[in-house]
């Protein structure tokens, strides 16, 4: 069944212009601080590790008790050493975000090769509350009906999240785009593919290839009850939003110059 992204989900889309965007981001961050305050959470710069929740977190692949997110490392053979090192640091940033969550999500990393394991070991991955698997995605999560592969090239947007689903992020860094890679993998594995609802939420022109940390953070915020527009606006980097605004401005200028 096709998932729909409602107008309410995509409310409060970003305004046009750099100054307007900055004002919108300030307002969003203020609202985020107020939300953390109302929820009894510490300020972001003093956020502590939620050890009780982490210790209670189940990392059994079949357990839907927490939102399950998977980073699929099926692309290590098409990335160079620098790209793989960058990816390992993004995974560490994901775990840093998870540690501060009131209701942590269950993160799994699949398809870890020995060279990539060495990179993770340098980041003390043995202390992480993360499922680390050397086996493939289909070996860890054998039921394709539960899998939703996130791809910027997918035709359908991701709507509401389902705790019964497993959300897969392709292990590719955002600076190196391989067109159709994640969509092709989803098609090869015969599983559903979805994209983040950037266009539906007013993020026109924003590059669809967001980094792993941004995608995971947005998923976590939506799972906690935020709208997609709020989550995307909070976590899409300002430099990425500027690129999108510039693209839209160029297109509009080109249209106006046409005779």
pLDDT tens string 56-109: 999 999 999 999 999 999 999 989 999 999 999 999 999 999 998 989 999 999
CA distances from 174 to 84, 179, 210 (A): 12, 11, 5
Residue 150, pLDDT above cutoff 50: yes
Residue 68 pairs in a beta bridge with: 106, 166
Q: Give the E-state strand segments of 100-165 in sequence order.
A: 106-110, 131-132, 147-150
Residue 111, pLDDT above cutoff 50: yes
Sequence-distant (6+) residues with CB within 8 A of 63 are 106
H/E stretch holding 38: helix 18-38
Q: What is the mean pLDDT of the chain?
A: 84
Question: How open is the CA angle 163-208-15, to the nearest 5 degrees?
Answer: 95
Please state the length of the chain.
259
pLDDT tens string 194-248: 999 998 988 877 777 889 999 999 999 999 999 999 999 888 876 565 554 455 4
């Amino acid at each position: 069944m096709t998932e729909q992204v409602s107008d309410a989900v995509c409310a409060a889309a970003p305004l046009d212009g750099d100054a307007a965007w900055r004002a919108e981001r300030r307002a969003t961050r203020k609202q985020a601080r107020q939300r953390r305050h109302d929820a009894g959470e510490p300020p972001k710069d003093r956020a502590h590790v939620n050890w009780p929740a982490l210790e209670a977190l189940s990392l059994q692949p079949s357990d839907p008790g927490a939102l399950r997110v998977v980073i699929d490392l099926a692309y290590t053979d098409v990335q160079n050493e620098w790209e793989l090192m960058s990816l390992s640091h993004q995974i560490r940033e994901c775990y840093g975000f998870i540690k501060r969550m009131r209701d942590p999500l269950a993160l799994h990393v699949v398809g870890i090769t020995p060279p990539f394991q060495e990179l993770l070991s340098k980041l003390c991955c043995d202390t992480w509350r993360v499922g680390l698997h050397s086996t493939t995605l289909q070996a860890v999560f054998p039921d394709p009906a539960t899998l939703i592969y996130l791809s910027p090239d997918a035709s359908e947007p991701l709507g509401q999240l389902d705790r019964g689903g497993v959300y897969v992020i392709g292990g590719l860094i955002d600076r190196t785009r391989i067109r159709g890679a994640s969509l092709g993998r989803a098609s090869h594995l015969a599983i559903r593919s979805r994209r983040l609802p950037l266009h539906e939420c007013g993020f026109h022109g924003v590059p669809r290839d967001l980094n792993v940390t941004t995608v995971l953070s947005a998923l976590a915020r939506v799972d906690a009850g935020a709208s997609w527009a709020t989550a995307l606006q909070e976590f899409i980097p300002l430099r990425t939003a500027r690129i999108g605004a510039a693209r839209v401005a160029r297109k509009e200028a080109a249209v106006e110059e046409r005779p």
